[in-house]
Amino acid sequence: MKKKTFILAALLLFSLLLGGCEFFSEKYEPKPVDPPFFTVSDESTGGVVYLLGTMHVAENGVSYPEEIYRAIDECTIVAVEVDLIALDKNTAELNEAMKLLECKSGTTADILGNDYEKIKKFFTEKGIYIAAYNRYIPALWSAQLSNKIASDCGYYSENGTDRAVIKYAMENGKEIYEFESVYEQYKMNSEESEALQAFALSDAVNTPYDEQLSAMRELYEAWSTNDLAALEAMLEGDEIPEELSDDFDDYYAAMYTDRQRKMAERVSEWLSEGKKVFVAVGAMHLVAEPDILDFLE
């Protein structure tokens, strides 16, 4: 039986669904973290690629090891999934991508069926129900819920690693490379089966909220202490229905395997060209098998 990774997957989305964010204020006391960080080199060309596993949300005052900033200083290119800071200023691109998340026919209620009223009530009680979302697929609702869970834990997208890295890279004149466009990311999620989306959202709503908060805190703790074993364990969970097994395989391939292969291919090109590049992508791309490092090996 396949496992559930839906909350983790939603974390890849919700920071993109929020626009107009700035990095955290310096008034907060520094809170050091030690995220996954790897160095890959090609002795024959002199190429070096630094791989940083990011978290798309973080506490106020989060601070990173100096070795990360030194690595960025060494590089001419900084590669990220999507340039979120540039996206903040490009509402037209974001609005166009949002159209991909609209229901192909009918409304969210048509997809969720009998579970809709319970989910709507839950969202209303949490203060995150927005009537306009009724024209969007359940994946967007899941992203909204993930954002709520994160903020209730004290983690915010404006403090995410991606934004910190991009901001520092821009201030130091680095070239920003995007592995994907926001359109590509939204298209990937729009193609997830409606049945799997509905199951994931209903399952989340039926899970005690305290358990969801605990899961988010465990994820953040594992990431912030470079606990790869714990991160890998996060990809294990309750079993999903057998009838959704094929849908899950397709989802996993699109969310992880295919993207990680594409990222690894680009990293290999940089290495063969003798370049020095800093790569910052979601931490799960470094642990979800076959991860980027697996492809590079």
Rg over alpha carbons for the chain, rounded to the nearest Å, is: 19
197 close to 143: Cβ distance less than 8 angstroms: no
Per-residue pLDDT of the chain (297 residues; tens, 9 = 90+): 345 544 444 444 444 444 434 444 456 788 999 999 999 999 999 999 999 999 999 999 999 999 999 999 999 999 999 999 999 888 899 999 999 999 999 999 999 999 999 999 999 999 999 999 999 999 999 999 999 999 999 999 999 999 999 999 999 999 999 999 999 999 999 999 999 999 999 999 999 999 999 999 999 999 999 999 999 888 876 678 999 999 999 999 999 999 999 999 999 999 999 999 999 999 999 999 999 999 998
pTM: 0.92
CB count within 10 Å of CB 60 equals 15
Residues 6+ apart with CB under 8 A from 79: 176, 177, 178, 179, 266, 277, 278, 279, 280, 281
